[in-house]
């Protein structure tokens, strides 16, 4: 699934959060389990306990010479640089979180928690808004190079979608996190070789804790660009596209050489508890313990992320081919896991991920310039049937989602939907859809719906949509493929009419800007509306939560009026682990089950 962000949060495993979100979920995450879950054997540490929703307090840990195998899906790892539009998804971010650190991470309920292993961040002034960062004196990259202010400048300077390359179309740094330079024009201020810097924001920023000020190693990029670190930092601060051209080319393409191809040793540098070790195309990617990691040692020496079809995960867990799994939740999967009894622990809860169909406003899309056709298609999408048949068996309280900016149970959900949504799409309206098609002289209008496959639930969703919408006069075609969203695939080329996918959200209050505003990195369908742009810009420049809600009411209504796309449901969460694996804990945020994988240990 896709991740939702504006300015990238810190992508971390041991040390940081991955991505940003529009809002927190309704209620805290929960975790239920079956199985013994008892500790013991092979010198394994007992399962740790800690109050609250953060990482476990493990004390002095000695890594076990063991391997834990997990799967968060069948999608191929995107590559070391998981921050490009082609590689940025939950699957790649789960791996990336093992070798990249940041100043904060998301707890099990999506709340932001400081990562003191990397350092500290403190709001020192509100007018002007200023934040002071201090990097741990012991913090080093895996090649031994100290992590310094230069790396903060590197992270900041790549987040500018307006800094275009020579073609005038592609950003110098094709980063999904695209506006930090705009938010904090001066960038990190401090001695490049030092450990302390300050950031001054142009406007108030509700999500200052979630901005990325550590990402990729400046010394590696500088060397590949034939520059000194000082010259690279100066060019980044000046946003000099000419001097940054070579650095940008490397940043965009230099780390990622295709499936199964890891970067060379000098490029494969980690700031987290693990480092990339091996990658078998179509099968798995393995990370090993980073011997330069200064924080709490990981529980085991190796983690292997296997690319397993969700339908095969339970069997793989039963056979010992997996130790931890995060399948797509289905009733069949839950029943299969329950049948394994005490051999497994089952972890369940609500997630901050939501399913939706988004329309394409570019290329040859049939919906490109016609809001009425988009509305006609929305009229025939059987949202209630989808929720009842596919989601309620897992979560009997599940309801149709009627907002793109808030979740049911949020304080502002009822206020936003009450002001913005007229309930027109609560029920299927085949006659209304037929009339629109007839008035426009459209008969058997072909609609190509794409998604990343294999995905059994989405295949079922499209079948239900087709059964309904074909009755209204559409001809729905499933154009899913394994590379639908990959570089050069139909989604990136705009060769589709509708895109069925999910945004994985967490606690960011301003992330909608990067999805719905004109030209933003995750506005895949190229939607554009002046009112939406203005209101989301307002949100990014205020600390007033009430003003934010008022702007979201306007945005939500406009998205319904234009029929940007249609929300369907909030995802239920279902994970499982062998009862021999300790410290596995459900996380409602987009970080998912691997959020604390560096703390896992085995009793085998």
What stretch of H or E contains 70? strand 64-73
Contact 55, 298 (CB under 8 A): no
**Which tokens is 285 given?**
């990617």
Place of tokens 């560096």: 598
| Spatial distance between the Cα atoms of 96 and 76, rounded to a whole number of angstroms | 13
pLDDT tens digits along 196-231: 999 999 999 888 998 999 999 999 999 999 999 999
Strands, sheet with 196-200, edge to edge from the N-terminal-most edge strand: 119-126, 129-135, 196-200
Q: Which helix (H) or strand (E) holds 200?
A: strand 196-200
Give the mean model confidence (pLDDT) for residues 107-132: 93
Q: Calculate mean pLDDT across residues 58-82.
A: 95
CA-wise closest residue to 344 among 325, 366, 360: 325
> In the numeric block, which tokens belong to residue 146?
């100290």
Cis, peptide link before residue 108, omega less than 30° from 0: no
Distance of CA 55 to the CA centre of its chain: 20
Q: How many CB atoms lie within 10 A of CB 413?
A: 18
Q: What is the DSSP letter of 46?
A: P
The mean pLDDT value for 468-474 works out to 98
Q: State the pLDDT at residue 40.
A: 31
pLDDT digits (tens, 9 = 90+) for 519-577: 998 899 999 999 999 999 999 888 889 999 999 999 999 999 999 999 999 999 999 99
| 193: Cβ contacts below 8 Å, ≥ 6 apart | 146, 148, 149, 150
Q: What is the pLDDT of residue 369?
A: 94
Residue 482: alpha-carbon gap to chain centroid: 19
Identify the pLDDT of residue 507. Answer: 67
Q: How far apart, in whole angstroms, are the C-alpha atoms of residue 373 and residue 364?
A: 14
Write out the DSSP string of 416-463.
Answer: HHHHH--STTSS--HHHHHHHHHHTT-SSEEEEEE-BSS-HHHHHHHH
Contact (CB, 8 A) for 85 and 519: no
Please give the DSSP secondary-structure letter assigned to residue 390: I
| pTM for this predicted structure | 0.75
pLDDT for res 249: 98
Tokens of 59: 């004390």
* Buried residues in 474-497 as b, exposed as e (16+ CB within 10 A): bebebbbbeebbbeebbbeebbbb
**Residue 168 pLDDT exceeds 80:** yes
pLDDT of residue 9: 31
pLDDT at 514 over 80: yes
pLDDT bracket for residue 57 (50, 70, 90): confident
Query: Which of 432, 423, 448, 462 is closest to 372 using CA atoms?
Result: 432
Cβ proximity of 197 and 152 under 8 Å: yes
Residue 346 in tokens: 């089952």
pLDDT of 521 reads: 81
The rounded distance, in Å, linking the Cα atoms of 347 and 349 is 7
3-class secondary-structure state, position 548? helix
Closest to 498 (Cα-Cα) out of 545, 568, 571: 568
Nearest Cα to Cα of residue 406 among 558, 509, 328, 517: 509
Q: Which pLDDT does position 349 carry in this prediction? A: 82
CB 186 within 8 A of CB 249: no
Q: Which pair of structure tokens corresponds to residue 36?
A: 């013994």
How much is the average pLDDT of 348-371? 94
Q: What is the pLDDT of residue 110?
A: 80
pLDDT band at residue 59 under the 50/70/90 scheme: confident
Q: Where is 335: in which H helix or E strand? A: helix 331-338
Output phi, psi for 377, to 5 deg: -70, -40
Q: What is the mean pLDDT of the chain?
A: 90
Beta carbons of 69 and 322 less than 8 angstroms apart: yes
H or E element: which one contains 504? Answer: strand 498-504
Residues whose CB is less than 8 angstroms from the CB of residue 264 and which lie 6 or more positions away in sequence, other chains included: none
User: What pLDDT score was predicted for residue 403?
Assistant: 97
CB 20 within 8 A of CB 211: no
DSSP bridge pairs for 602: 581
pLDDT given at position 319: 97
Cβ-in-10-Å burial (0-12, 13-18, 19+) of 431 comes to exposed
State how far the alpha carbon of 475 is from the alpha carbons of 370, 442, 455, 565, in Å.
17, 11, 21, 18
The phi-psi region of residue 187 (left if phi > 0; otherwise alpha if psi is between -120 and 50; otherwise beta) is left
Mean pLDDT of 331-354: 93
Contacts of 230 (CB under 8 A, 6+ apart): 150, 192
111 pLDDT band, cuts 50/70/90, is confident
Half-sphere exposure of 591 (CA within 13 A, CB side): 37
Range in 125-129, 227-231, 257-261 with the lowest mean pLDDT: 125-129
User: Which residue, chain included where needed, has tokens 């932001």?
Assistant: 112
The secondary element (H helix, E strand) that includes residue 133 is strand 129-135
Q: What percent of the chain clears pLDDT 90, i.e. is strictly above it? A: 78
Where are the domains positioned within the chain? 351-571
Q: Are 352 and 21 in contact (CB under 8 A)?
A: yes
Evaluate whether the domain defined by 351-571 bears CATH number 3.10.105.10: yes
Indicate if the pLDDT at residue 42 is higher than 80: no
pLDDT tens string 296-314: 999 999 999 999 999 999 9
Predicted confidence (pLDDT) per residue in 22-39, tens digit:
232 233 344 444 333 333
DSSP-assigned letter for residue 595: G
Decide if 329 contacts 394 (C-beta within 8 A): yes
Confidence of residue 1 (pLDDT cuts 50, 70, 90): low
């Amino acid at each position: 699934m896709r991740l939702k962000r504006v300015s990238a949060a810190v992508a971390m495993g041991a040390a940081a959060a991955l991505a940003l979100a529009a809002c927190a979920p309704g209620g805290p995450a929960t975790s239920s389990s079956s199985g013994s879950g008892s500790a013991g054997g092979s010198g394994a540490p007992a399962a740790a306990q800690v109050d609250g929703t953060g990482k476990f307090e493990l004390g002095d840990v000695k890594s076990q010479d063991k391997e834990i195998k997990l799967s968060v899906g069948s999608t191929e790892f995107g590559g070391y640089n998981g921050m490009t539009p082609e590689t940025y998804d939950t699957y790649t971010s789960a791996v990336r979180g093992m070798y990249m650190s940041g100043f904060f991470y998301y707890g099990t309920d999506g709340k932001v928690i400081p990562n003191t292993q990397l350092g500290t961040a403190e709001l020192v002034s509100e007018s002007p808004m200023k934040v002071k960062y201090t990097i741990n004196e012991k913090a080093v990259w895996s090649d031994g190079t100290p992590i310094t202010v230069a790396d903060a400048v590197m992270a900041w300077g790549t987040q500018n979608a307006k800094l275009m390359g020579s073609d005038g179309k592609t950003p110098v740094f094709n980063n999904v996190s695209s506006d930090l330079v705009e938010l904090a024009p001066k960038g990190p201020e401090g001695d490049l070789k030092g450990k302390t810097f300050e950031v001054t924001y142009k406007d108030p920023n509700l999500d200052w804790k979630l901005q990325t000020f550590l990402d990729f190693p400046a010394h590696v990029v500088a060397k590949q660009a034939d520059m000194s670190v000082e010259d690279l930092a100066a060019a980044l601060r000046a946003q000099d596209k000419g001097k940054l051209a070579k650095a940008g080319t490397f940043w965009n393409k230099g780390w990622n050489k295709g499936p199964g191809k890891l970067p060379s040793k000098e490029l494969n540098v980690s700031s987290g508890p693990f480092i990339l070790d091996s990658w078998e195309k179509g099968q798995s990617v393995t990370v090993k313990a980073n011997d330069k990691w200064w924080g709490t040692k990981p529980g085991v020496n190796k983690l292997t992320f296997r690319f397993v079809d969700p339908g095969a995960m339970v069997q793989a867990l039963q056979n010992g081919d997996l130790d931890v799994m995060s399948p797509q939740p289905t009733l069949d999967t839950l029943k299969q896991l329950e049948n394994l009894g005490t051999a497994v622990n089952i972890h369940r809860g609500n997630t901050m991920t939501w399913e939706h169909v988004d329309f394409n406003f570019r290329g040859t899309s049939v919906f490109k310039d016609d809001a009425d056709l988009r509305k006609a298609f929305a009229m025939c999408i059987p949202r209630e049937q989808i929720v009842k048949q596919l989601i309620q068996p897992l979560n009997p309280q599940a309801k149709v989602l009627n907002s793109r900016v808030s979740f049911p149970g949020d304080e502002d959900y009822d206020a936003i939907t009450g002001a913005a949504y007229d309930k027109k799409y609560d029920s299927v309206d085949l006659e209304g859809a037929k009339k629109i098609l007839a008035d426009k002289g459209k008969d058997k209008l072909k609609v190509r719906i794409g998604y990343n496959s294999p995905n059994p639930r989405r295949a079922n969703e499209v079948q239900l949509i087709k059964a309904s919408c074909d009755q209204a006069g559409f001809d729905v075609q499933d154009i899913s493929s394994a590379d639908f969203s990959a570089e050069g695939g139909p989604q990136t080329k705009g060769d589709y009419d509708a895109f069925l996918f999910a945004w994985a959200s967490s606690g960011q209050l301003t992330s909608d800007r990067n999805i719905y505003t004109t030209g933003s990195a995750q506005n895949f369908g190229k939607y554009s509306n002046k009112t939406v742009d203005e209101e989301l810009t307002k949100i990014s420049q205020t600390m007033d939560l009430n003003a934010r809600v008022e702007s979201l009411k306007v945005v939500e209504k406009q998205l319904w009026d234009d029929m940007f796309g249609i929300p369907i449901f909030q995802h239920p969460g279902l994970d499982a682990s062998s009862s021999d694996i300790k410290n596995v804990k459900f996380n409602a945020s987009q970080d998912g089950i691997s959020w604390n994988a560096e703390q896992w240990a085995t009793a085998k």
